[in-house]
Structure 1
């Protein structure tokens, strides 16, 4: 690249506690510039915004409408001409710590290609010799995707650049043309699987997603729901059902999906995890009851 192109980084925060500031500092230490960082706060009730460096742009939303809504808020401002259009968007969680060379590596690969979506190798913050996950394969069962390398020890088998179905949503780089073509995030998901929905819609329009292991980041992991693990169970099952209804209504994949969903409930009952089974059932019911968002978003 002869000159660096602008990156608009959007960090979504909700009660980020003591992880938001070091995550922001890690991004600001990027060797790739210019990067304009916007922290979109989903009505946090903690003090996570107070210690941010002066000059960081903060957008404070009045209520928590979810991850996708926070991203969409900024995208709509760009589309309306209220913000300059960047060359790339970087979407990241408030507990994602970017390596100083992460952006340089991914943009070097992306430059000159058709608009795409890119994800780095993501390692665990607490165990940096282990992957958080590498990539995912869409399988259409009750958790929608199989994730390769989840919590595996890092090694050469995870160092191959590849086109994939699913990238981990804690950090995504994409050309600005991607949301202009694909549309916005579906805010019905609220949290979990909204990036899977976006990636699936992008893939159907011919947009490719790449796992880029030469770029690296650390992920704290599940910071927003770690104190309430049953919430994650509820939302992932709710959104898996919603995803199926949205993208595979009336197909032969439903029997397999329902079989694996029922198997998950039965397993948790037999292993005396009744509260988890209840969360799965409640989430599935909610997924069947909610209206499906159709058409371009």
Structure 2
């Protein structure tokens, strides 16, 4: 009889205690039982700290001394997975990801039939049961995968909202880039993984992304208080665009300027600041060349 593969879940959190409680509860109730639940806390307030400490050995709790963003949190969590566990796969998610009881089982059912993959990604729904617009994935030809797709299909990239990754692939490609801070770290990382082994969308595995609203990321329509964070969006995009083939590289590099033109001729609020953040991000992106870290693999010590 084949031994069941072991899986670590990795959750990164920052000051969203109500959502975190729901997310962890869903992980504790998976039909396919987890070997470890690794929670990386980006230095949240004391209420989060007290709750996570109260869970005792139900979780592996990593509290960071400062907030280093989602990218830094996943970097630390994946390093812990590689250096402190011997599990076969890691299952990555944000603290507002609500796994369904069979989410992991559906991923592992597919993995049992085809282990030649770097990552598997779930179908991400919003709270109303429709697709989460922030997490719609694409076929290899770039066309978006519709809600009606029922087959497992290959994809170029995915988000850190229910992503299963093979341990040996982490050993080969390294960790997410801390310097990304937020935005695009998941796209860059999954594209890095997909260069060594295919990644797949598994629609039988479903999770709910409990964001406040079901909208994609848009500087044009986003609120003024969120404008500064789009610096990372444009800077990071310029970096990972350079890693792509010529056509996809040129298309990605053109995207900021299409956004710029759209905002310039729009009636959006805070227009001057939004245009400035695109220029600032793109300029920084040309010089942005962060290093990739690697973790020591406990299995190979």
Sort the TM-score into its range (normalised by shorter chain).
0.7 to 0.9
Matching residue of 1:235: 232
Task: Please tell me whether the aligned partners of residues 7 and 36 of structure 1 are also in contact (alpha carbons under 8 angstroms).
Answer: yes
C-alpha distance in structure 1 between counterparts of 2:67 and 2:25, whole Å: 24
Q: CA deviation at 1:137?
A: 5.5
Structure 2: any 5+ residue segments left out of the alignment?
Answer: 296-301
Does residue 265 in structure 1 map to residue 222 in structure 2?
Answer: no
Q: Deviations over 1:15-71 (max 9, x none)?
A: 224211111111111011133101101112363343345223321001122323323
Does residue 121 in structure 1 map to residue 118 in structure 2?
Answer: no
C-alpha distance in structure 1 between counterparts of 2:293 and 2:101, whole Å: 39
Matching residue of 2:165: 174
Matching residue of 1:23: 23
Task: Please tell me whether the aligned partners of residues 110 and 116 of structure 1 are also in contact (alpha carbons under 8 angstroms).
Answer: no
CA 1:254 to 1:77, structure 2 compared with 1: closer, same or farther past 3 Å? Answer: closer
Structure 1: any 5+ residue segments left out of the alignment?
Answer: 140-144
Does residue 194 in structure 1 map to residue 196 in structure 2?
Answer: no
C-alpha distance in structure 2 between counterparts of 1:42 and 1:241, whole Å: 26
* SS of structure 2 residue aligned to 1:121: strand
CA 1:232 to 1:171, structure 2 compared with 1: closer, same or farther past 3 Å? Answer: farther
C-alpha distance in structure 1 between counterparts of 2:157 and 2:28, whole Å: 27
Task: Please tell me whether the aligned partners of residues 18 and 48 of structure 1 are also in contact (alpha carbons under 8 angstroms).
Answer: no
Matching residue of 1:66: 69
C-alpha distance in structure 2 between counterparts of 1:107 and 1:255, whole Å: 36
Task: Please tell me whether the aligned partners of residues 134 and 168 of structure 1 are also in contact (alpha carbons under 8 angstroms).
Answer: no
C-alpha distance in structure 2 between counterparts of 1:258 and 1:198, whole Å: 18
* SS of structure 2 residue aligned to 1:26: helix
C-alpha distance in structure 2 between counterparts of 1:244 and 1:135, whole Å: 17
Matching residue of 1:287: 285
Question: Cα RMSD between the aligned structures?
Answer: 3.0
- TM-score normalised by length of structure 1: 0.82
Q: How many residues align?
A: 279
CA 1:3 to 1:231, structure 2 compared with 1: closer, same or farther past 3 Å? Answer: farther
* SS of structure 2 residue aligned to 1:277: helix
Tell me which of 209, 214, 226 is aligned to 1:219.
209
C-alpha distance in structure 2 between counterparts of 1:201 and 1:85, whole Å: 22
* SS of structure 2 residue aligned to 1:18: helix
CA 1:44 to 1:137, structure 2 compared with 1: closer, same or farther past 3 Å? Answer: farther
Q: CA deviation at 1:189?
A: 1.4
Task: Please tell me whether the aligned partners of residues 137 and 166 of structure 1 are also in contact (alpha carbons under 8 angstroms).
Answer: no
Matching residue of 1:142: none
- TM-score normalised by length of structure 2: 0.81
Q: CA deviation at 1:115?
A: 4.2
Structure holding more strand per residue:
1
Structure holding more helix per residue:
2
* SS of structure 1 residue aligned to 2:47: coil
Task: Please tell me whether the aligned partners of residues 138 and 166 of structure 1 are also in contact (alpha carbons under 8 angstroms).
Answer: no
